[in-house]
Amino acid sequence: MSRVGKAAITVPAGVDVAIKEDQISVKGTGGSLSLAQNALVKVSNTAGKLSFEPVNESREANAMSGTMRQLVNNMVVGVTKGFEKKLSLVGVGYKAAAQGAKLNLNVGYSHPVNKDMPAGITVATPTPTEVLIKGADRQRVGQVAAEIRAIRPPEPYKGKGIRYADEKITIKETKKK
């Protein structure tokens, strides 16, 4: 069996987990998330602990038990603590400004770039060169961060662009005569 799938998830106080035959729903202070139930995995809730068992001994069921367990764990962590991604803007005159559910970026184009945030995602700019993306759904937070980074990815010669806060850019050497 999957090593990840063997570990049970302890459901903290204030979080409701509803297991139906077609989906798993998690509600907490950070919002509510749902995930489609997989036929290869049997999910059970006993005394505040969620356990995931493969239905049969196939390799796919074994793999899906670990995947389902981690996805549900991300949902539980998301509705309690939430997830965040931090982006930094590197370049002369590069700046960002959050206005409600919109992010306005000036990143070297002839026009400002406006990005609307989907529901459940909040954006903040503590400084003009930092963007903080927060939300309960880990996948959506990462996807929005990747879309913002794709507006002006870091270039390899000077390192200018939008990058993750913990990202290291390998700078290339320029051509020599």
On whether the pTM is more than 0.85, the answer is yes
Asked whether residue 170 is assigned to any structural domain, the reply reads no
Same domain, yes or no: 49 and 69: yes
Which residues contact residue 60 at a Cβ distance below 8 angstroms, ignoring those fewer than 6 apart? 40
45 and 71 together in one domain: yes
Question: Of 146, 173, 175, which Cα lies nearest the Cα of 158?
Answer: 173
What CATH number has the domain bearing residue 137? 3.90.930.12
User: Among 65, 80, 95, which residue terminates a domain?
Assistant: 80
User: Angle 59-80/138-151 helices, nearest 10 degrees?
Assistant: 80
pLDDT for the residue 126: 95
Range of the domain at 34: 3-80
Per-residue pLDDT of the chain (177 residues; tens, 9 = 90+): 568 888 999 999 999 999 998 999 999 998 999 999 999 999 999 888 999 999 998 999 999 999 999 999 999 999 999 999 999 999 999 999 999 899 999 999 999 999 999 999 999 999 999 999 999 999 999 999 999 999 999 999 999 999 999 999 999 998 888
